[in-house]
Amino acid sequence: MNLPKVHFMDLGLIEYQKCWDFQTKLFNKAVHQKIYNRKNPDKKESTKNHLIFCEHPHVYTLGKSGNKKNLLISKQEQDSKKITFFKTNRGGDITYHGPGQLVVYPILDLDYFFSDIHKYLRFLEETVIRTLSDFGLLGKRIDGLTGVWITNKGIPRKICAIGVKSSRWVTMHGIGFNINSDLSYFNSIIPCGIEDKAVTSLKEEIQKEVNMEDVKDYFKNNFINIFNIELLEN
């Protein structure tokens, strides 16, 4: 049995808009290929799957059904702190991306896997949960809330936010996994529109700076095993 092939790339620190444009280009190419294949079954070509790692400069992003009232600072304050803001076409509400956070964008044709977006979200959560386990932490799901949480003491603390878009079973956008993130930036939003929960990071939970390359290696291995893929590194 041939495993689905996924092309991996690490873009490093990249402006949100530039990465969104790059994602969109790959996403649209896959969607257009699927439309072409349906109309021309004798000439069809395979779509490509991608797994993108990156970090972003300080930015707040709002999902398509999110409420901008969950952004608690003015445009003037954002400018003074050099924080950008984007309303996006992903699901979910408001979140923060910044240096020290691992951002993961899988652009997958789910026809290679399963036609179930809820299962896809659970697979993304499971990848994070297993990565946390590699660091000795117990990540949890909370019923009705997408993402991964630490619940071992006090108020549940969100360590990973997830928001995706899909069309014709092709996905884009993905996860923000707080590793060495400066959590003070979350004070200017109501993260994911949830007022009675807190936010945390891997560094905060294990009380020491985390080697990002270690996180990336663990995450990749867990993604490979959970999605049962062959990862092609350029």
Catalytic residues: 192
Question: In whole angstroms, what separates CA 160 from the centre of its chain?
Answer: 8
- Residue 218 has which token pair? 């663990």
Residues in Cβ contact with 114 at an 8 Å cutoff, skipping those fewer than 6 apart: 120
Rg (alpha carbons) of the chain, rounded to whole number? 18
Reduce the secondary structure of 215-233 to three states and give it as a string. Answer: HHHHHHHHHHHHHCCEEEE
d(CA 150, CA 197): 11
d(CA 100, CA 88): 22
